[in-house]
Amino acid sequence: MSDTIDLDIEIDPRVKLLSYSSIDTLNRCDREFQLYRMSAKSADPTQQDEITFAFGHLVGAGICMAVRGMEENDIILELFFKWWKPDLLAENERQKKSFFYGIYAVQKFCALYRMGAILKEYEIVEVTDDNGDKIPAVELACKINFPDGFQYRLYMDMVLRHRETGEILVLENKTTSLSPVQPAIYKNSDQGLGYAVVLDTIFPELSSYKVLYLVYDTKAMEFEPLPFIKTHGMRALWIQSTLNRIDRIKTNERSIYPMNGSSCLRFFKECPYYQTCTLSTSLLATNTIQEVLDEEKEKVYNFTIDLKDIILSQIEE
């Protein structure tokens, strides 16, 4: 019996679709990542989970609308129609999350923005997408093609330019109930580093850029701006880290996706797959390979970048 591993095994296309959130899941637990990518049956989300998800999206969308110049009343009306789940009156009182708490946060941002207390010197960048169209750099959808069919998808809330210095700033909207806000959670995030690859395509002359994590502390009901400078030399680090994680996925595909018991409980809450992760994957997966591929074909990306082009560009520099 051979001890060698079959290097030609076919890798499930579902695990080839990567993002910041899925990589974050992989870092916690390989098995959770596998089940997450296959939309496996999990514990039903609680109303508190639904409130947290909807609240974060509402605040982020409201901030983007405000920076784009929408009137406050129009923003509130638009957000009312976007809040379709959970119930409009649903509330997490301990974390101060609900539709109405979200509207308060957006109104607070609008007031700060009007006073010039935040983002005063910046304007939205206009970029040329893959179709040659000029579009505002708001909620940009980007895809980076890695070898062997792996794809890393990322979304940028907003790209801004300083009116005087020309400095490029990526705005990343966040909400948290962890009070006070902890900068260590955000400083070395892969999410901020991944933007370097996209920005290099849009602004090849850049040597550095800034990521501004605009974090809303739900308990203090205050915004905490956390700016971090990122150099384009960091893109090589991000690329290598992502390739290492892809190798990890390939290794798991050839053997097993191991469970990490220390991640079964996070923030006093069980992993959604805690009760089922020991069962057969074929019994748990709810989406088929074809369904995932068809869904991916329907997605529209503003920018699609090949890793080989990034490497060639870096060699030229």
Between CA 306 and CA 310 the distance in angstroms is 7
Domain boundaries, the chain: 44-119, 121-255+287-317
124-133, 199-208, 267-276: the lowest-pLDDT one: 199-208
The pLDDT of residue 45 is: 74
Q: Looking at residue 124, what is its pLDDT?
A: 96
Whole-angstrom CA distances from 136 to 65, 67, 315 are 12, 11, 30
| Across 228-238, average pLDDT | 83
Average pLDDT over residues 141-150: 95
* Cβ–Cβ < 8 Å for 97, 107: no
Please, which pLDDT band fits residue 2 given cuts at 50, 70 and 90?
A: very low
CB 62 within 8 A of CB 73: no
Q: 313: which residues sit within 8 A by CB, 6+ positions away?
A: 200, 204
Over residues 87-132, the pLDDT tens digits come to 999 999 999 999 999 999 999 999 999 999 999 899 999 999 999 9
Q: What letter would DSSP give residue 146? A: P
CA 310/CA 315 separation, integer angstroms? 9
Cβ distance 232 to 206 under 8 Å? Answer: yes
> Which pLDDT belongs to residue 1?
38
Average pLDDT rounded to a whole number, residues 188-198: 86
Pairwise CA distance, residues 40 & 283, whole Å: 9
Span of 15-24, 123-132, 175-184, 302-311 with lowest mean pLDDT: 302-311
Tokens encoding 164? 């005087």
Q: Is 222 exposed, middle or buried (0-12, 13-18, 19+ CB in 10 A)?
A: middle
Among 23, 237, 30, 31, smallest CA distance to 151 is for 23
Tell me, what DSSP letter sits at residue 13?
G
pLDDT value, residue 181: 96
Confidence (pLDDT) at 198: 86
* The predicted structure's pLDDT at residue 194: 86
Average pLDDT over residues 25-50: 88
Position 9 pLDDT exceeds 80: no
Residue among 211, 255, 232, 180 at smallest CA distance from 20: 211
Tell me the per-residue pLDDT of 47-62, one tens digit each, with 9 for 90 and over: 888 999 999 999 999 9
**Cα separation values, 96 from 51, 92, 228, Å:** 10, 6, 28
